[in-house]
Amino acid sequence: KYFTGASGLFSFYFKPDISREQAINFVEALKYFHIGFGWGGYESLVMFFKEIRSDAVDNPNQYLVRLFIGLEEPEDLIEDLSQAMEKTL
């Protein structure tokens, strides 16, 4: 009734040429996204995972980052993701 069809939870993989250290540094460079679980709250969260897909054997250096988008201003979150990418990748 109040919420239909969308979610603030999504994941992405880095390209295989991105190192584990770069992926971790990206997560740690974020300012608005706090590291942790707890999907469904009001704060933006981020988690880093080593590959978890069944086909990850083909791409052993892929790393997954899961984001939960909270109630911060979208422009602030976009800027935060951009600065972390520029700083670490």
pLDDT digits (tens, 9 = 90+) for 14-70: 888 898 899 999 999 999 999 998 767 889 999 998 755 555 556 666 788 999 999
Check if the beta carbon of residue 59 is closer than 8 Å to that of residue 71.
Answer: no
Helical ranges in 36-73 per DSSP H? none
Largest CA distance in the chain: 44
For residue 15, the 8-state DSSP code is P
Using CA atoms in the order 56, 59, 62, 68, what is the torsion angle rounded to 10 degrees? Answer: -40
pTM over 0.85: no
Spatial separation of the C-alpha atoms in residues 1 and 47, rounded to whole Å: 30
